[in-house]
Every structure is written in structure tokens, then in C-alpha cells.
Amino acid sequence: MIMASRSPGGQAGTKHSAKRKGLKLSFDLSPQSPEPEEDPFHRPTSTSPYPPHLWGQRSSPPTPSQRGGVQDVKRNMDRNSLERIRSESLDKSGKLKITPDKIYDFTADDLLDLGEIGRGAFGSVNKMCHEQSQTTMAVKRIRSTVDEREQKQLLMDLDVVMRSNDCTYIVQFFGALFKEGDCWICMELMDTSFDKFYKYIYSLNRYMPEDILGMVTVATVKALNYLKTRLNIIHRDVKPSNILLDRKGNIKMCDFGISGQLVDSIAKTRDAGCRPYMAPERIDPMSSRQGYDIRSDVWSLGITLMELATGKFPYPKWNSVFDQLSQVVKGDPPQLNPKEHNFSPDFINFVNICLTKDASQRPKYKELLKHMFIQRYETQDVDVASFVLEHLDQMPPHLPTDLSSY
């Protein structure tokens, strides 16, 4: 995640001298055609593992000897995506695109370091100011020594945000450059995550108002729907720490490092994501063999909303994966009880249908966007900024949080 802190750990006000010229990463940002919706819980009519856009100039799906299986397609797509990023990042000068009409040439010399705000296995995230535009941003500094798996995740994250700048519910990408072999990714700076924010609210014996939850729901569903319809991607890691907010009341999704490319609207990888938020069909070894679709993220959204609404994770702590398998796969799904929770029927219904255990009966984004709860907050004027400002400056600088997004 990328967020600001009031207690930066690094040395503030430090400039960086660039030994290597800033390098631009630039892609075709034109929208892709959405994939036809397929249901992994019913037998497909086509024998091809490829979506039609992968057939190239052929008039029919490739033969078995040509295609090599779905996993080969996925590996090739991953490899091509990484090579595309690497190749396009090595031969162009650095550009910082703050808005469509504010574009600057830049190197590390132009960035004033205001201190470290996060750290992870890949490197660090620093709050920096681009002095010419007076833009404060989060700069993710990726060490050149990260292993191949981490590099793949970081490049996937970069690829997604670079192609999502026209979505107001996804953190914005400003530009990237290389310095002494390390990659610096300049991103929109947010103030905190809902993981930190809700824990602070409940520590005051207060609760998260339903209208704030409504705005979180609208932003998250629209971001996820954008990933599916425009990029043909499933997020796979929906949780409170990956939903960010700022002082202006903006709510945005982040952390796309383990997002998966959908093949015929189905994803296969079982171990991507944060296990506590995984849907039953992703945990159950029998169900996961046939793959899963965007409805697994709908389950994760339901768990997230229930956690934000009640102030606690809806399952007791698991001591092993067998406990999780028993409760999530074999037990009843968590549900909001109207008698125990003072929420509107629309919100309770929305959360509960997201937590439908049978994935084939769980709604997809198109259905969720038609739900009365979302439609209400699409049009209702909610002052999120005032609620955030009321609490943000009083928050302790170091609250327990999931730092995996760093």
C-alpha cells in the first residue's frame, strides 16, 4: 500500500543525485475489449482453453499440439508482460505525468525526500516532493536485487496501475525511473488504509457510519469491475489494508502485485492472496481444481465490509489451515444479523449476498452495481472528508496493520 505517515522514518529534505538518466515506462492505455462472462461452475461449450483474442489470425481455436494447455498460455502472458515492461523502460527519457496537461521531464535530482513511510521485502516507500510541480507523492523504490517472484509481482502491480489512470477508484501512477539499477515508481500519495483507520475508530468506542461504508462499497466494486471489464484482471487480494483513503475523502484500491490474468474469465492459481479473506472455492482443494472467477473477490469484499462494519474479523482466529478449511469450507458463511446490527436492510442484504457460500449463486459485479445499496450511494452526497479529518490527525502514527502491500 502507499500512504503517508506523520512520523517519517527517513531523513527528510534529502535530494538524490541521479547517475542514470530517468527512464520512462509507457504503454498503450486504450481500453481492451471485455471478455465474455463464463461460469467455471458449468461445463463450457468450447473445447479451447484460449479466449478468442488469443487465437491471432486463425479462423478457429488452435489444435491441442499448438496450444500446450492453459498454464502455458498464462506463463507466456506473464513473460510477455514482464518483457514488455522491461523493454519499454530502457529506451525513453523520464516523464512525470501529474495530470494530462502537466507533464515534466525528471530524474531523481528533481525529487526531495521527505522520509520513509513504508518498507517491505522489495525495498521501501518514501514520501517525496517533485519541486517543479510542487507535487507530493509516494515513491516505491524497488531494489535491483529482489528475487524473480517478487520482481514479477512488482512489475504486475506497475503494469496494472499504468493502465488504470482513467479509473478514479485506483491509485494513480505518475511515472518511473531507474537510479543505479533500482526502479523508482512514483504514485499518488494517500493518507492511510481502512485497516488502520477502522481499528482507530473502534478503539474510541465509535463505529463506522453506514454512509462511509456505502462509499467504500461503491469505490471498491467500481475498481474491481474496471479491472475485469477493461483489463480482464481479477484482483485476488481484496482486504481493508488494500483500500486507501485521503484527507479529501477519496477512496481507492491499491496493490495489484498478485492480480491474475483471466483466461475464459477463469483464474487458476490457488495460493495468491491473503488466506483469511479467500473464498471457500479457493481454499477447498476439490473446488479450486476447476478454477474460480471474479466472484471469489466478491466474497473477499463481503468479509471486508463485515469487518469494517463490526470492528472485527468475522471468523475466530485459526490455529492451522485445517481450522480454516473446516470453518470456511465446511461451516456456515458469516452473515450480518438484523437483530444484532443497527444497519439498513439494504446494507445487510448486500453483505450477506456477497457471502453466499455457493460461488455459482454469488452475484457478479454487474448484479452488485444494480443493488439498491450501491445505487443509493452512487448518487448520495456523503462528506467523507469531514469524517476522515475528524480522526486522521489524532491517529497514533504506528497502529497494528497488515504491511504486506508494501
SS3 state at 165? coil
Q: Are strands 192-193 and 243-245 parallel, antiparallel or unpaired?
A: antiparallel
Does residue 191 carry a catalytic annotation? Answer: no
Rounded Cα distance between 220 and 253, Å, is 7
What does the block give as the cell for 284?
477447498
pLDDT in tens, 305-350: 999 999 999 988 877 777 877 888 888 999 999 888 889 999 999 9
Q: What average pLDDT does range 159-163 have in this prediction?
A: 79
Q: What totals of helices (H) and strands (E) does the chain contain, helices first?
A: 13, 13
**pLDDT tens sequence across 60-79:** 444 444 444 444 444 454 55
Q: Please, are residues 80 and 261 in contact by the beta-carbon 8 Å criterion?
A: no
pLDDT (0 to 100) of residue 6: 46
Report, in angstroms and rounded to the nearest whole number, the Rg of the chain calculated over CA atoms: 22
Domains in the chain, CATH or no CATH each = 14-25+90-188 (3.30.200.20), 192-392 (1.10.510.10)
Q: How far apart are CA 361 and CA 32, in angstroms?
A: 28
Residue 405 has φ and ψ, to the nearest 5°, of: -70, -20
The pTM is what? 0.73
Q: Measuring CA to CA, how many Å separate 274 from each of 109, 245, 246, 335, 349?
A: 37, 21, 24, 21, 25
Provide CB contacts within 8 A for 42, sequence distance 6+: 360
The reply, when asked if residue 366 is annotated as ligand binding, is no
Separation between Cα atoms, residue 96 and residue 26, nearest integer Å: 11
d(CA 370, CA 101): 35
Nearest alpha carbon to residue 221 among 406, 354, 34: 354
**Contact by Cβ (8 Å): 117, 127:** yes
The per-residue pLDDT for 162 is: 82
Q: Taking a C-beta distance cutoff of 8 angstroms, is the pair 215, 386 a contact?
A: no
Question: Is the predicted pLDDT of residue 17 greater than 80, yes or no?
Answer: no
The total number of residues written for the chain in this structure: 406
Do the beta carbons of residue 96 and residue 106 sit within 8 Å? Answer: yes
Q: What percent of the residues of the chain are helix, what percent strand, and what percent coil, each to the nearest 5?
A: 35, 20, 45
Which pLDDT band holds residue 266 (cuts at 50, 70, 90)?
A: very low
Higher-scoring residue by pLDDT: 144, 183: 183
Catalytic pick from 113, 237, 255, 264? 237
Which of the two residues, 341 and 103, has the higher pLDDT score?
Answer: 103
User: What percentage of the chain has pLDDT greater than the value 70?
Assistant: 65
Q: Which amino acid is at 156?
A: M
Backbone phi, psi, residue 310, to 5°? -105, -15
pLDDT in tens, 216-254: 999 999 999 999 999 888 888 899 988 999 999 999 998
Residue 125's nearest CA partner among 115, 111, 135, 136 is 115
Q: Any idea which of 28-32, 126-130, 222-226 has the lowest mean pLDDT?
A: 28-32
CA atoms of 235 and 249, how far apart (whole Å)? 23
